[in-house]
Amino acid sequence: MSYANNRASVVTTKTATTMRTTRPKSGLVPTNTIVTKDGQQIRAKIDATLSVSHVIRTLCINLSIPDPPKLYALRDENDVLVTNDNLRKMIKTKAKLKLVSAPEIEAAEILEKLRDEKTQRLALFSLAKYIRETEFVDHFLQIGGLQDLIWIIENNTGNTLAYALTAMQNLMDNDYGWENLGNAFICRVVQILASPQSLINVCRPATAILRRFVEADPRSAPNPSGASSSHKQHHAASNTVFQYGFDRVYEEMQKAPGMLEIVVSRLGSGDSGMKLNSMMLINSLLSHVTEQRWEQLTSDLERLNIRKNVLALMTSGIEDLASSILDFQGNLIRVAYRRKTTPVDPHGNQRHAGALSYIWTAGKLQEEVAVVHMQNGSARGTRDVLKWRRLGFSTEDLRAEFDRVGVLGLDSLKNFVQDDPDYFAKVVLEQVNRAPEKRCPVARASSEVVEVLADHWSIFGLGYSTSTTFQPFFLNFSKVHILALRFFLRMWNESSATVTDFPRVVTLLRSQVKVALRQENERQWHEVERAFQESDYRAVRDRQMKELEKDDEIMSKAPVRNLREKLYKESYQFVRQQRIQCLMQGAWFINGIPLNTPVPREALKRPARPWRFMRLDNSLKYLHYVDSAVKFSVKNGLEDLPERIEIAQIGEVAVGTCFAPPTLMRESIDLPPSAMPKALDTSFSLISTREESLADQISLDHDTWADWTDGLNMLRKDGGHVATQETAAFVNALTEIGLKVKLLSLSGEKVDIPSALDPGLPPPTCDFFFADAPPG
């Protein structure tokens, strides 16, 4: 930095002082107002190429401040610390700056106030703002401030506790500084949440803190090589914050009776922020649950009727909850798939044995013993016990009978029996009194219904969901299963089916499921009931025959469905990578105005910097961006993008949330003039975990909007769903194309695809080996 006579010129007037921190270069240089500690206002032209320390040193020289410049810092009107990363933005926007104490001085002053009850609450309020800053938190931790903050949390209630928890929540947004919080602190947070008397403003940050502990799983630890230079020393530390995880949190939750019940009940809170935080905590628990606790957590949530609570949220109309509800749907898909692929163990699992015993007792049947053949004409024969086959299973081997549907099939059959035990007993008695070829295999039909519903809701693989809308009927899986199984039994009777007609009745069921469950986000439950209960056999059969003319029977066979499941997972991963690549390439957006924000008339004019270019960095941790008056050619890399948003801060990707000044919209997208601003379909907002908007953007076309909204959702730790029809259609189209390509080699050779594969009997002994394949 250069000066005139080694000092920048200072001209004092009655109202302000004008100062130049450097000789102005060619062109206009923005002027910032700087307010000193004593209230003096300075008008300064600052060179954006300088460092913040250089600017502060020049200010101290020109203002004849005797203290060392390192004791001072600059902040804007919102108390945001001016750093080398955001200095250029502060200059361009002509932000009003304040010359204040340096972060290390502020840290010491705040810590001193924390130890005085008279100034403690105000100090906590300031701490909650400053503790997000690396420069501040480093010094605060060095002087032992964390221990004081923990003490306040452990020994206070009310608003003081709320402010302290908010400060801790903001500290935990960093990936360092809270690695030594022990089980005692987790226990304290759990106790706060488990208390029905806790205030809403206390529960919100406490819920967010507990969720952060769950997500600090060792499996989620980032690669130290990808850390930014300012944090490398923290990532290099032997102890990181990624040492907590689900098990440590859930163990403490188990010690607080009713804790999980209270969290679920808060989904019905009148405070939308409390609902959102509770929903996100439940999603994190489901996403990070470990093998040992999986069945316990899911059983507890089912016992607490979590589905009913989420169904109520679906009809609440709260837009901020949409993404979290879709995340929950994705988690339930994973739960259903896990249950579907968990084998039934009639002898080794007490719960499975109990469910089977209940089903058998409700059937009110007796075992039968038959002699299947005689040996050499003697009176001795092989005794065959008929028990489970009397309920409609094919064999007495229950583990094999539930092989395709697992525990999900067992639970579904049990729920069907529990819904109306007398009806179940009547049905099975009716079947055993018929001729064997006329009997409907009730238990086998139940498993087939589970398979059909699993296909309908894409319960595949790792549980990826391409549903872009709410699926309230899926959350009522058990009730839909009951309706569908009753429909199957009715179709069997009305069509006078025999055992060989079983596949035909399954085809009728599959057709009816598509009709009854269509557009489930728009239809009412009573319409589903009517579709299953009042449908006429002939009408269903006629519709199904027309569908067969358009569809290929081969597509409904089990091996083809399994192939589709595999291709579906591959297609999802491919589309996910494609969306992330779009984010890494970057795109131009219009800076939007949130719809629910009061907008003065002058804001509707063309703003000074209406355009924003955004790009995801290679580490997938930050969105870098620049605001500009015009669109320009952005270089590869991040050189032209001085600002950034941390991906970890994004808690929600809300769509249809903002608009742009009408003059700019007509210039860019050719919209007709409108008297009232309306949210655009191609707009989206990045909402932080503290319900603050990090960015409000408008895409120039629908494809870019789909790429970015879904790409950002897929990057989130608790994400996994897609929110746009474009992405969902892309995944499904790739799946179907891949399936048809795979089948071409079979259909072209006229190879017959069986409906099921018989594995055959196992070898009688282990005395065998596999021979090497012959050469050629």
Question: pLDDT per residue over 307-316, tens digit each?
Answer: 999 999 988 8
Q: Report the C-alpha gap between 127 and 121 in whole angstroms.
A: 10
**Residue 59 has what pLDDT?**
86
Q: How far is CA 130 from the centre of its chain?
A: 29
367 shares its domain with 494:
yes
**Residue 491 has what pLDDT?**
93
**Residue 717 has what pLDDT?**
60
- Domain end, chosen from 85, 101, 117, is at 101
Mean pLDDT, the chain, as a whole number? 82
Q: Please give the average per-residue pLDDT across 633-652, as a whole number.
A: 84
Structural domains of the chain, count: 4
| DSSP label at residue 359 | H
User: Over the stretch 196-210, which tens digit does the pLDDT of each residue have?
Assistant: 888 999 999 999 999
Cβ atoms of residues 321 and 271 within 8 Å:
no
- Domain end, chosen from 74, 101, 128, is at 101
Q: Report the C-alpha gap between 85 and 82 in whole angstroms.
A: 8
Q: Where are the beta strands (DSSP E) in 482-576?
A: none
CATH number for the domain that contains residue 311? 1.25.10.10
Cβ atoms of residues 487 and 514 within 8 Å:
no
Whether 265 maps to a domain, the answer reads yes
The alpha helices in 52-157, defined as continuous H runs, are 52-62, 87-92, 103-114, 120-130, 134-142, 145-155
pLDDT band per the 50, 70, 90 thresholds, residue 662? low
Q: How far is CA 165 from the centre of its chain?
A: 24
CATH number for the domain that contains residue 686? 2.30.29.30
**Residue 748 has what pLDDT?**
43
Query: The pTM is what?
Result: 0.72
Whether 135 maps to a domain, the answer reads yes
Q: Report the C-alpha gap between 239 and 177 in whole angstroms.
A: 10
Q: Please give the average per-residue pLDDT across 315-319, as a whole number.
A: 78
**Residue 592 has what pLDDT?**
87
- Give yes or no for residue 645 having a pLDDT over 50: yes
How many other CB atoms are found less than 10 A from the CB of residue 766?
Answer: 7
- Give yes or no for residue 83 having a pLDDT over 70: yes
- Give yes or no for residue 754 having a pLDDT over 60: no
312 shares its domain with 288:
yes
- Give yes or no for residue 193 having a pLDDT over 70: yes
**Residue 356 has what pLDDT?**
95
Whether 147 maps to a domain, the answer reads yes
Whether 203 maps to a domain, the answer reads yes
97 shares its domain with 115:
no
62 shares its domain with 132:
no
What letters, b where the CB count within 10 A reaches 16 and e where it falls short, cover 602-620? Answer: eebeebeebbbbbbbbeee
How many other CB atoms are found less than 10 A from the CB of residue 42?
Answer: 21
pLDDT band per the 50, 70, 90 thresholds, residue 618? confident
Dihedral sign from CA coordinates of 639, 641, 643, 646: negative
> By mean pLDDT, which of 62-76, 150-164, 584-598 is the weakest?
584-598
170 shares its domain with 48:
no
152 shares its domain with 112:
yes
Whether 736 maps to a domain, the answer reads no
Whether 234 maps to a domain, the answer reads no
Whether 233 maps to a domain, the answer reads no
67 shares its domain with 121:
no
CATH number for the domain that contains residue 82? 3.10.20.90
pLDDT band per the 50, 70, 90 thresholds, residue 251? very high
Range of the domain at 541: 350-371+382-551
- What are the distances in angstroms from CA 313 to CA 9, 269, 502, 577? 63, 10, 40, 31
With pLDDT > 90 as the criterion, what percentage of the chain qualifies? 37
533 shares its domain with 676:
no
602 shares its domain with 686:
yes
Phi, psi of 175 (to 5 degrees): -95, 25
**Residue 229 has what pLDDT?**
43
Cβ atoms of residues 386 and 369 within 8 Å:
yes
> By mean pLDDT, which of 49-63, 229-243, 373-387 is the weakest?
229-243
Element holding 527 (H helix, E strand): helix 525-533
Q: Please give the average per-residue pLDDT across 576-586, as a whole number.
A: 89
Q: Which residues pair with 10 in a beta bridge?
A: 19
CA angle 453–458–463, rounded 5-degree value: 120
Element holding 611 (H helix, E strand): strand 611-616
Q: Please give the average per-residue pLDDT across 314-335, as a whole number.
A: 85
pLDDT band per the 50, 70, 90 thresholds, residue 423? very high
Q: How far is CA 728 from the centre of its chain?
A: 16
**Residue 234 has what pLDDT?**
44
Q: H/E/C letters for each residue in 558-577?
A: HHHHHHHHHHHHHHHHHHHH
693 shares its domain with 574:
yes
Q: Please give the average per-residue pLDDT across 325-351, as a whole number.
A: 91
Phi, psi of 465 (to 5 degrees): -125, 130
Q: Please give the average per-residue pLDDT across 468-481, as a whole number.
A: 91
Q: Which pairs count as long-range contacts for 87-90, CB under 8 Å and 24+ apart, including other chains?
A: 87/46, 87/48, 87/50, 87/51, 87/52, 87/55, 88/48, 88/642, 89/627, 89/642, 89/643, 90/32
- Give yes or no for residue 462 having a pLDDT over 60: no
- What are the distances in angstroms from CA 80 to CA 21, 87, 276, 564, 622? 21, 11, 27, 52, 19
- Give yes or no for residue 287 having a pLDDT over 60: yes
179 shares its domain with 320:
yes
- Give yes or no for residue 672 having a pLDDT over 60: no
- Domain end, chosen from 68, 101, 134, is at 101
With pLDDT > 70 as the criterion, what percentage of the chain qualifies? 81
pLDDT band per the 50, 70, 90 thresholds, residue 569? confident
Whether 113 maps to a domain, the answer reads yes
Kindly calculate the radius of gyration of the chain based on its CA atoms and give it in whole angstroms.
33
537 shares its domain with 575:
no
**Residue 464 has what pLDDT?**
57
